[in-house]
Amino acid sequence: MSMIKKVVTLLRGSAREIAENVVDANATRIYEQEIIDAKQSILEARSSLADVMAREMQAGRAVTRLEGEIAHFESLALEALNKTQEALAEEVAGKVAALEQDLEEQRKARQSFASQVSQLKELIKAAEAKIREHEREIAIAKTTESVYKATQSISDNIGHSGSRLASARESLERIKQRHEHLADRLQASEQLDRELGDKALASKLAEAGIGQDANRQRQVMERLRARQAKPTDDQ
C-alpha cells in the first residue's frame, strides 16, 4: 500500500492514532534496509560498470585493429596472386582466416560487454528509483507523524499554561483592536506634533514682528489712547 493511501486510511481515525500509527516501525525499518541495500547495489553496479565499459572499449579497439590487419593481409594476398605466387597467397589467406576468427570473437565480446553495460545502467536506474520512492514514503510518514505530534505538544502546552485557546474570531478582534489602538496612537502623535509645530511657528513669527500676535499690544494701546483723547464719546 502506498504511504499516501495509508495516511488516507488513518485519517478516518483520531489525530492521536494518526500520530502513533503512521510511522509503522517495522515497515520503516524494512524501507530503510531496502534503501541501504539499494545504495550498496548501486555502488557495486557502478564499479562493475566502469570495468565492463573499459572492456567494451578494449574489444572495440581490437576490432578496429583486426579489421585493419585483415585488410592489409588481404591486399598482400592479392598482390601474391597477381604475381602468381599461389603458395604464398595460400599462406597469407590462412593468416587472414585466423584473423577473421579473432575478429569474430572480439565482435562477440564487444556485443556482450555492450549488453552488460545497458543491463547495469538499467539496474542502477531501478535502484535509484527505489531509493527515491522509499525515501518519499518515509518522508510522508515522518512528516505526518511530526505534524500531528507537534500539534499534540502545542495543545498540551496551551493546556498546561492554563491559558485557554481563544476562538479565531476573538483572536482576530483582539489583534485588530490592538492595531486600531496603535493606528490611533500614531494619528494622535502626528496631530500633537503638528500642533506643537504650529505653536512654535506662531511664536517665531510673533518674535519677528510678523502676523496678528505681533502688533496686538500696539493695537490695544492705540485703542486706549484714542479713548483717552475723546473721553466724552462714551457718555
Q: DSSP letter at 166?
A: P
Contacts of 18 (CB under 8 A, 6+ apart): 7, 10, 11, 144, 148
Our finding on whether 39 is near other proteins (CB under 8 A) is no
Our finding on whether 175 is near other proteins (CB under 8 A) is yes
Compare residues 122 and 173 and give the one whose CB is closer to other proteins.
173
Shortest CA distance to 126 belongs to which of 21, 64, 34?
34
Our finding on whether 14 is near other proteins (CB under 8 A) is yes
**Shortest separation between residue 113's beta carbon and other proteins, angstroms:** 40
Q: Give, as ranges, the residues between 142 and 161 that touch other proteins (CB under 8 A).
A: 142-143, 145-154, 156-157
**How many C-beta atoms surround the C-beta of residue 139 within 10 A?**
11
Tell me how far the alpha carbon of residue 99 is from its chain's centroid: 58
Asked if 105 and 113 touch (Cβ cutoff 8 Å), the reply is no
Q: With contacts defined by CB under 8 A, how many residues of the chain interact with other proteins?
A: 34
Our finding on whether 179 is near other proteins (CB under 8 A) is yes
Our finding on whether 185 is near other proteins (CB under 8 A) is no
Of the residues 15, 88, 126, 214, which one makes contact with other proteins according to CB under 8 A: 15
Compare residues 14 and 47 and give the one whose CB is closer to other proteins.
14
Asked if 141 and 22 touch (Cβ cutoff 8 Å), the reply is yes
Asked if 148 and 20 touch (Cβ cutoff 8 Å), the reply is no
Our finding on whether 167 is near other proteins (CB under 8 A) is yes
> Which residues bind to other proteins, rule: CB under 8 A?
14-15, 18, 135, 138-139, 142-143, 145-154, 156-157, 165-172, 174-176, 178-179, 182
